[in-house]
Amino acid sequence: MDEARVRAALKELGQPAYRWDQVRRAVYDQAAASYEEIAGLPPETRRALAQRAPILCLTERRVQVSPDGRARKALLTLSDGKVVETVLLRPSPTRWTTCISSQVGCAVACTFCATGLMGLSRSLTPEEIADQVLFWRQYMRREGLEGRLDNVVYMGMGEPFHCYDAVAESLRRLTDQKGLAIGSRHVSVSTAGVAPKIARFGREFPQINLALSLHAADDELRTRLVPLNKAYPLAALAEALKTYLKETNRKVFFEWVLLKGENDRDRDAEALIAWLKDLGPAALLHVNLIVYNQTDTPHRPSSEADARRFQARLLAAGVKSTVRQNLGRDIDGACGQLVVLEKAG
C-alpha cells in the first residue's frame, strides 16, 4: 500500500485525520482486501479511495497450491504488465513464511538458477516488494488459512543488493509496527555477495538476518557458478563479513546449493571450512546446504548420501550446518525455480 498516496487522497477528500488510522488498521491488522470492507468509512470515500489509491499495487494472475498445501506460488502482475513470483510456505502447522522477489529477473546469472537464466528486466519498487507480503496476508484470510504470516525471506527473484535502496525502504515498511509489523529477526535478506552493501546493511539493519549465497569457497569455481564473484571475490566478501560480524554480532547464514560432482566433494567442504575459519566466531556462522532443485540448467543434484557426507565433514570441523528442507518443488516454487515461463500465463 502506498501510504503517502492514501493519506493524500484522504486529505483531498476532506476526511478527518483519524480516517487514516481506520484504513491502516483494516489493511494491516485485518488484511482487508478492499475499501468496501472497511465498515467505518463513508461509502463515497470508499469508492473514491479505490480509484485514487488502490490497496495493492499488484494483481493476482494465478496461485498454484502444492498437493500437500504447504507451498503456494503466486504470479502477480505489476502495473506495467510485468510479472513476478512470490511463494508462501508453511514449514510447520502454524507458521507461515513468504519468499518474496526484489526484481523481475536477475542480472547475476548464476548458472544453476532459473531466474538467472532470464536476465534482468527491472527492479521492484518498495511498494511492490512489501505488497507481496500484504497480498499473502489477504490471501490467507480469503482462504481461511490459520496461523500467522510473520516470517519473510528475500529469496525469490532478483538480487536484493542490486536494488539496495528499494529493498531498504521495503524493510522499513515490513518492520514498521504501524505497518505490516513483522519482527526484524523474522526477516532475512539473501545476497549473492555484493560486498560493499553487506557492511552497509549491517550498519543500517543490524536486526535483520543476512544470508550469503556462497556455493563455493575457491574463486575459480565460484566465479564460474556465481559470475558476480569476479567483481567481489572471496577476499572482498570475507572483509565485508568480518566488518558485518564485528558490528552486528549477528549470525550469518551461508547458502550452498549442492551440485553433483561440482561443489559437493570433500575438497569443497575443506575449502569452506578453511574459509570460514578466519571470518569470526563459529557460533555466528551457519551453513545451509540446499539440495539443488532441477531447473533448465546443466547441473545435477547431489545425492542424499553426498549431502550428508558433506554436512558431516562440516560438523566434524565445528561448522554448524543444516540440510534445508525443500518445500514447493512440485509447483516449481522452490529456491531457484522462480521464473516466469511464457506457458505460465
- Chain residues that interact with ligand SAH, rule: CB under 6 A: 106, 112-113, 155, 159, 190-192, 213, 255, 257, 290, 292-293, 295, 335-336
Q: Given 57, 106, 110, 335, which residue is catalytic? A: 335
Distance CA 189, CA 207 (A): 11
On whether the CB atoms of residues 194 and 159 are closer than 8 A, the answer is: yes
Q: Which does 109 bind (CB under 5 to 8 A by kind): ligand SF4, ligand SAH, none?
A: ligand SF4
CB of 187 to ligand SAH, least distance (A): 13
Question: Which residues of the chain form beta strands (DSSP E)?
Answer: 59-65, 71-77, 83-92, 95-99, 103-105, 120-123, 148-154, 187-191, 209-213, 252-258, 285-291, 320-324
Find residue 289's DSSP bridge partners.
Answer: 256, 323
CB-nearer residue toward ligand SF4: 118 or 331: 118
Distance CA 324, CA 265 (A): 18
Size of the site for ligand SF4 (CB under 6 A): 12
CB of 66 to ligand SAH, least distance (A): 16
Give the residue among 250, 227, 337 at the shortest CA–CA distance from 291.
337
What 181-188 contacts at long range (C-beta under 8 Å, 24+ apart), as own/partner pairs, is 181/28, 182/133, 182/150, 182/151, 182/152, 183/150, 184/208, 185/209, 186/150, 186/151, 186/152, 187/151, 187/152, 187/153, 187/154, 188/152, 188/153, 188/154, 188/155, 188/253
* x/- letters, 87..126, toward ligand SF4 (CB under 6 A): -------------------x-xxx--x-xx----------
- 270 catalytic? Reply is no
Q: Which does 293 bind (CB under 5 to 8 A by kind): ligand SAH, ligand SF4, none?
A: ligand SAH
CB-nearer residue toward ligand SAH: 25 or 329: 329
CB of 241 to ligand SAH, least distance (A): 14
CB of 157 to ligand SF4, least distance (A): 6
Q: Which does 85 bind (CB under 5 to 8 A by kind): ligand SAH, ligand SF4, none?
A: none
CB-nearer residue toward ligand SF4: 126 or 158: 158
Exposure class string for 251-263: b at 16+ Cβ within 10 A, else e: ebbbbbbbbeebb
Distance CA 157, CA 161 (A): 12
Per this entry, what is the length of the chain? 345
CB of 70 to ligand SF4, least distance (A): 22
Site for ligand SF4 in 207-226 (CB under 6 A): 213
- Phi and psi at residue 7, to the nearest 5°: -65, -40
Q: Which does 2 bind (CB under 5 to 8 A by kind): ligand SAH, ligand SF4, none?
A: none
The residues, any chain, with a CB within 8 Å of residue 76's CB and separated by 6 or more, are 58, 59, 60, 61, 83, 84, 85, 86, 132, 135
Q: Show the cell assigned to 89.
A: 510456505
CB of 295 to ligand SF4, least distance (A): 10
CA 301 to chain centre: 22
Q: Given 57, 60, 85, 159, which residue is catalytic? A: 85
Site for ligand SF4 in 277-316 (CB under 6 A): none
- 85 catalytic? Reply is yes
* 159 counts as binding ligand SF4 under rule CB under 6 A: yes
Q: Which does 97 bind (CB under 5 to 8 A by kind): ligand SF4, ligand SAH, none?
A: none
CB of 152 to ligand SAH, least distance (A): 13
Q: Which does 290 bind (CB under 5 to 8 A by kind): ligand SAH, ligand SF4, none?
A: ligand SAH
What amino acid positions are annotated as catalytic residues?
A: 85, 335
Which residues form the interface with ligand SF4 (CB under 6 A)? 106, 108-110, 113, 115-116, 158-159, 192, 213, 336
